[in-house]
């Protein structure tokens, strides 16, 4: 297996911060602010770990069913990318926030004969790549215009 | 490539359906079909060709790559089809459904309600064991949408093999069942794949590495506040009156089962064999699906190299300095999907809006990769990718079709060895937890 690039420093979210975030209503996620990470965590019934680097922070959400979601946020807290992997797919409508509808519209615009295992969609500056086999679901989505300057999607770990 | 406009002259495809079958129309029903093993089985059920030595169980069914069922309107390339016989559990009320996609990338049998209706078989839905007033149903996510429909308890018969009393999924393309709940439609892609044309098939015969389609993830929901009601899941319990469906825990043994694991014998895996096909393709191809590995004289491992898989059914593919750690062999994929930014993708057009799902190299690409099992065993594979636009629309068996796969440095990348890999090979798929020819599954071999 290739390294899964797990963060070496795992910091728990402080209970104070958690208490504050809990008050914030669910809102947009991809493109959302830090509170959207917490609402995703609640929706996914999951544990949250956060790791910060100079260019971005990673919020890693592990659900009880073995699924893993990572949300990548700018230093200002805007979520610019999400990735997921697990035996079940996560709720993409929850993770994509306001980006779900344009994704949905672009992805369903025309039939793709025979393509049930993977899907690659670009719409505006949103890029979505999905792979799906029963018991093996994964993918990533990112908004190019929200990415920190000088950062490439390939740089994310 | 959209084959909707491709009209083929069907040649030599007669007699795919055995057991009093109706030939090319796709499906047939009979109320007097009994287990094939009770006769000399020269014409056994489920579109089989007898392929075993005398005194043993017939374990081979015919597989054909062609344009598929009429309702697929010309279908698409590289889809292997077989016939499957299903009976109301414990009865001789049965039907044989032709043109079911043979899929080593999933587990469990799914049949279109329209195909069952055309065959005259009315399968009763399966009651929720936890609530007799409810019916079990399933929402199965794919990359491009979902299927939805009730479960049914059936006997599945292919060749001389029978899986007694297993759950299968009826894909509700007749829209007679409760509508898909919002949790099904809004998670992943809100796109119903409930149609023959969405799959170019009357159903999907999942004979992959798993015993059940979902497994432990769908059998637990402890520690979730409000029970299972707030989590995306696959199984639902639907009230028989009203339209209410709620997420359901389903014990693994009650989930949609890989029929192979429930055969009395030959239950540790399958061998899908397709013939060699010229690089440019040919109209159709005929092969076999053999049940069991190392259980009879006709399914020995022989010189095939075993590549052990991880618990998700993945091996490692080494390709052009990339380590693709989530790779797999999948007869449900109609191309070779792998990441290679040096090969141009096809250009989308109005007539072919999804062309960029495929590669269009200017010259034939002759490539090589190394497949590696989890135990380190390696196998070098040569393969070809031609320009999609150079492929004749009348060719359904094409070994040189490839397309780009996403790389995911964060979560793992893959090489999807689809149907092109199977041409000219016998590919073994051994099931999790089953010993097959001396090695514990899951594994692949070829």
Cβ pair A134:B189 closer than 8 A:
no
Report pLDDT for A33: 77
Q: Report how far Cα B325 is from the mean position of its chain's Cα atoms.
A: 22
Instruction: Kindly tell me if the per-residue pLDDT of B393 is higher than 70.
Output: yes
Report pLDDT for A24: 30
User: Other C-beta atoms within 10 Å of B219: how many?
Assistant: 16
Residue B431's nearest CA partner among B338, B317, B295, B325 is B295
B177: its two tokens: 């069942």
Query: How far is residue B387's CA from residue B135's CA, in Å, rounded to a whole number?
Result: 48
B128: its two tokens: 């929720």
Beta bridge partners of residue A51, listed in sequence order: A58
Which band of pLDDT confidence, cut at 50, 70 and 90, is reported for residue B221? low
The vertex-B376 CA angle with B374 and B380, nearest 5°, equals 105
Query: How far is residue B443's CA from residue B419's CA, in Å, rounded to a whole number?
Result: 18
B71 and B63 Cβ atoms separated by less than 8 Å: no
Q: What is the DSSP annotation of B118-160?
A: HTT--PPBPEETTEEEEEEEEEEEETTEEEEEEEEEEEEEEBT
User: Other C-beta atoms within 10 Å of A133: how many?
Assistant: 28
Which band of pLDDT confidence, cut at 50, 70 and 90, is reported for residue B162? very high
Cβ pair B312:A45 closer than 8 A:
no
Report pLDDT for A155: 77
Weakest-pLDDT range from A60-74, B23-37, B88-102: B23-37
Residue B444's nearest CA partner among B417, B423, B424, B420 is B417
Residue B101's nearest CA partner among B167, B200, B2 is B200
Closest residue in chain B to residue A81, using alpha carbons only: B410
Is some CB atom of chain A closer than 8 A to the CB atom of B310?
yes
Q: Which residues of A touch B354 (CB under 8 A)?
A: 110-113, 115
Residue B19 makes CB contacts below 8 A (sequence gap 6+) with B28, B30, B33, B36, B43, B44, B45, B46, B85, B96
Cβ pair B409:A156 closer than 8 A:
yes
Q: Quick one: B38 exposed, middle or buried, by C-beta within 10 A (0-12, 13-18, 19+)?
A: exposed
B138 and B169 Cβ atoms separated by less than 8 Å: yes
In tens, the pLDDT along B249-286 reads 888 999 999 999 999 999 999 999 999 999 999 999 99
Is some CB atom of chain B closer than 8 A to the CB atom of A120?
yes
In tens, the pLDDT along B40-78 reads 333 334 444 444 445 588 999 999 999 999 999 888 999
Which band of pLDDT confidence, cut at 50, 70 and 90, is reported for residue A91? confident
Question: E strand or H helix at A92, and its extent?
Answer: helix A92-96
Calculate mean pLDDT across residues B182-203: 86
Cβ pair A87:B214 closer than 8 A:
yes
Residue in the block written with tokens 């049914």: B152
Query: How far is residue B135's CA from residue B410's CA, in Å, rounded to a whole number?
Result: 40
Q: Which residues of B touch A88 (CB under 8 A)?
A: 214, 217-218, 232-234
Residue B44's nearest CA partner among B6, B96, B81 is B96
Query: How far is residue B51's CA from residue A11's CA, in Å, rounded to a whole number?
Result: 60
Q: Tell me the longest C-alpha to C-alpha distance in chain B.
A: 61
Query: How far is residue B309's CA from residue B307's CA, in Å, rounded to a whole number?
Result: 6
pTM check: above 0.80: yes
Among partner residues B79, B143, B199, which is closest to A131 by beta-carbon distance?
A: B143
In tens, the pLDDT along B75-88 reads 899 999 999 999 99
Q: Which residues of A touch B408 (CB under 8 A)?
A: 83, 129, 138-140
pLDDT winner (highest mean) among B155-169, B217-231, B340-354: B155-169
Weakest-pLDDT range from A19-28, B302-311, B407-416: A19-28
Is some CB atom of chain B closer than 8 A to the CB atom of A88?
yes
Q: Quick one: B223 exposed, middle or buried, by C-beta within 10 A (0-12, 13-18, 19+)?
A: exposed
Report pLDDT for B224: 40
Give the β-pairing of A118-123 and A126-133: antiparallel
pLDDT winner (highest mean) among A29-33, B149-153, B195-199: B149-153
Is some CB atom of chain B closer than 8 A to the CB atom of A129?
yes
Mutation target to probe the A interface, by most A beta carbons within 10 A, among B3, B147, B188, B325 is: B188
Percentage with pLDDT > 70 across chain B: 84
Q: Where are the beta strands (DSSP E) in B173-330?
A: 203-207, 235-239, 245-247, 269-274, 285-291, 306-308, 315-319, 322-329
Percentage with pLDDT > 70 across chain A: 73
Is some CB atom of chain B closer than 8 A to the CB atom of A71?
no
A118: its two tokens: 């993977």
B22: its two tokens: 């109706």
Mutation target to probe the B interface, by most B beta carbons within 10 A, among A87, A135, A153 is: A135
Residue with the larger pLDDT of the pair B259 and B229: B259
Q: What is the DSSP annotation of chain A?
A: -------S--EEPPHHHHHHHHTSPP---TT--HHHHHHHHHHHTEEEEEEE-SS-EEEEEEETTS-EEEEEE-TT--EEEEEEEESS---HHHHHGGGHHHHHHHHTSS--TT--SEEEEEETTEEEEEEEETTEEEEEEEEGGGSPTT--GGG--
Percentage with pLDDT > 90 across chain B: 72
Q: Tell me the longest C-alpha to C-alpha distance in chain A.
A: 51
| ipTM over 0.85 threshold | no
Report pLDDT for B231: 53
DSSP letter (8 states) at residue A21: H
Residue with the larger pLDDT of the pair B230 and B443: B443
Instruction: Kindly tell me if the per-residue pLDDT of B230 is higher than 50.
Output: no
Burial A94-119 (b: 16+ CB within 10 A, else e): bbbbebbeebbeebbeebbbbbbbbb
Report pLDDT for B3: 44
In tens, the pLDDT along A40-88 reads 676 666 667 777 777 898 888 876 666 788 899 998 889 999 998 888 8
Question: E strand or H helix at B370, and its extent?
Answer: strand B365-372
Instruction: Kindly tell me if the per-residue pLDDT of A119 is higher than 60.
Output: yes
Query: How far is residue B85's CA from residue B2's CA, in Å, rounded to a whole number?
Result: 30
Mutation target to probe the B interface, by most B beta carbons within 10 A, among A44, A85, A107, A133 is: A133
Q: Report how far Cα B337 is from the mean position of its chain's Cα atoms.
A: 17
Distances (CA, A) of B409 to A5, A140, B312: 8, 10, 18
Residue with the larger pLDDT of the pair B12 and B388: B388
Residue with the larger pLDDT of the pair B238 and A88: B238
Average pLDDT, rounded, for chain B: 86
Percentage with pLDDT > 90 across chain A: 25
Q: Quick one: B393 exposed, middle or buried, by C-beta within 10 A (0-12, 13-18, 19+)?
A: middle
Is some CB atom of chain A closer than 8 A to the CB atom of B350?
no
B372 and B378 Cβ atoms separated by less than 8 Å: yes
Calculate mean pLDDT across residues B369-389: 98
Cβ pair B325:A111 closer than 8 A:
no
Q: Which residues of A touch B220 (CB under 8 A)?
A: 64-65
Q: Which residues of A touch B334 (CB under 8 A)?
A: 114
Weakest-pLDDT range from B8-22, B90-104, B192-206: B8-22
Distances (CA, A) of B116 to B33, B74, B79, B88, B257: 16, 21, 20, 12, 19
């Amino acid at each position: 297996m290739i390294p899964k690039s797990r963060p070496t420093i795992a910091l728990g979210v402080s209970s104070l911060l958690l208490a504050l975030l809990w008050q914030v209503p669910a809102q947009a996620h991809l493109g959302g602010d830090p509170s959207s990470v917490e609402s995703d965590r609640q929706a996914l019934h999951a544990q949250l770990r956060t790791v910060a680097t100079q260019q971005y922070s990673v919020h890693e959400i592990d659900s009880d069913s073995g699924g893993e979601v990572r949300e990548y946020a700018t230093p200002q807290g805007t979520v610019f990318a999400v990735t997921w992997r697990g035996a079940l797919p996560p709720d993409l409508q929850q993770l994509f926030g306001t980006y779900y509808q344009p994704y949905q519209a672009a992805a369903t615009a025309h039939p793709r004969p025979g393509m049930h295992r993977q899907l690659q969609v670009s719409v505006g500056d949103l890029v979505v790549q999905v792979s799906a086999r029963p018991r093996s679901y994964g993918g990533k989505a990112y908004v190019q215009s929200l990415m920190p300057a000088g950062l490439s999607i390939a740089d994310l770990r | 490539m959209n084959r909707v406009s491709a009209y083929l002259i069907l040649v030599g495809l007669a007699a795919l359906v055995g057991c009093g079958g109706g030939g090319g129309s796709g499906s047939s029903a009979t109320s007097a079909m009994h287990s094939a093993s009770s006769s000399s089985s020269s014409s056994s059920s489920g579109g089989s060709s007898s392929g075993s030595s005398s005194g043993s169980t017939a374990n081979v069914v015919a597989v054909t790559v062609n344009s598929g069922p009429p309702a697929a309107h010309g279908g698409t390339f590289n889809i292997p089809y077989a016939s499957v016989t299903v009976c109301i559990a414990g009865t001789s009320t049965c039907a044989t459904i032709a043109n079911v996609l043979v899929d080593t990338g999933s587990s469990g049998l799914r049949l279109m309600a329209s195909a069952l209706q055309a065959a005259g078989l009315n399968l009763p839905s399966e009651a929720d064991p936890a609530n007799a007033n409810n019916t079990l149903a399933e929402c199965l996510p794919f990359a491009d949408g979902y299927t939805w429909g009730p479960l049914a308890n059936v006997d599945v018969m292919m060749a001389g093999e029978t899986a007694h009393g297993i759950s299968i999924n009826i894909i509700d393309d007749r829209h007679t069942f409760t509508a898909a709940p919002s949790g099904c439609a809004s998670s992943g892609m809100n796109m119903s794949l409930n149609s023959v044309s969405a799959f170019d098939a009357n159903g999907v015969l999942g004979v992959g590495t798993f015993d059940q389609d979902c497994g432990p993830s769908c059998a637990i929901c402890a520690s979730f506040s409000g029970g299972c009601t707030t989590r995306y899941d696959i199984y639902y319990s639907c009230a028989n009156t009203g339209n209410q469906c709620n997420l359901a825990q389903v014990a693994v043994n009650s989930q949609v089962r890989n029929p192979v694991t429930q055969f009395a014998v030959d239950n540790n895996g399958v061998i899908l064999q397709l013939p060699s096909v010229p690089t440019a393709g040919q109209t159709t191809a005929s092969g076999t699906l053999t049940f069991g590995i190392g259980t009879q004289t006709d399914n020995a491992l022989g010189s095939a190299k075993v590549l052990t898989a991880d618990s998700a059914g993945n091996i490692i593919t080494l390709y052009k300095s990339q380590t693709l750690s989530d790779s797999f062999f999948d007869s449900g994929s109609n191309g070779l999907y792998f990441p290679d930014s040096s090969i141009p993708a096809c250009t989308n057009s109005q007539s072919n809006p999804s062309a960029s799902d495929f590669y269009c190299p200017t010259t034939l690409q002759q490539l090589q990769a190394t497949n590696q099992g989890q135990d380190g065993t390696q196998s070098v594979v040569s393969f070809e990718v031609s320009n999609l636009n150079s492929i004749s629309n009348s060719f359904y068996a094409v070994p040189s079709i490839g397309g780009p796969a996403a790389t995911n440095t964060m979560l793992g990348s893959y090489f999807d060895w689809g149907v092109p890999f199977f041409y000219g090979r016998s590919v073994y798929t051994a099931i999790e937890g089953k010993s097959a020819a001396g090695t514990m599954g899951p594994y692949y071999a070829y």
